[in-house]
Amino acid sequence: MGLRTLKRRRRENKTDYKARRILLTSGLPRIVVRITNKYFILQAVESNEAQDKVIATVTSKELLKNGWDEKMAGSLKSIPAGYLTGLLLAKRLRTQNSELRTQYIMDLGMIRTLKGSRVFAVVKGLIDGGLDIPANESVFPSEERLNGEHLKDEVKAMITKVKEALK
């Protein structure tokens, strides 16, 4: 990669090279979280000599197969959807890998990290799914928001149904 590419990717807010270097030198596999206009995309990635290998990928669109209502497809990047997507990736990693690695670090990229935000709902789902991820409990959204207690009764029931399907 040339010097122009480095500057371009930083200028376009695509890569924080200082953060990437710290993640790579830790030697731990990482969970990459990206938020699009409609979905969460989560990937478990291992790095070997700066070559990334994707172990598992999950999008919040897969919640539709696990009981998320089609009429609510527009809310697949909400706090409850992020939590359930994190649970789904943790479950997939537990079933997929024979030599189970439970310790991961988070790669949030250029996502802003605000207390109680959607990205921390994903982290809470990963931790509740059985992965060992260093995180401060104070940044997670409240249990009421994770479980959709602030939403309509039909949405709460749907979230509970999906949560039971993922256990």
Residue 79, domain CATH: 3.30.420.100
Please answer whether residues 110 and 87 qualify as being in contact, where contact means their C-beta atoms are separated by less than 8 angstroms.
Answer: no
How far, CA to CA in Å, does 153 sit from each of 93, 137, 150? 31, 27, 9
Nearest-angstrom CA–CA distance, 114 and 134: 17
pTM > 0.85: yes or no: yes
Residue 120 domain boundaries: 3-166
* Residue 150 clears pLDDT 70, i.e. is over it: yes
Taking Cα atoms as reference points, which of 28, 63, 36 lies closest to residue 162?
63
Residue 3 — very low, low, confident or very high, per pLDDT cuts 50/70/90? low
Q: Count of domains in the chain?
A: 1
Report the mean per-residue pLDDT for the chain.
88
**Range with the lowest mean pLDDT among 19-23, 58-62, 155-159?**
19-23
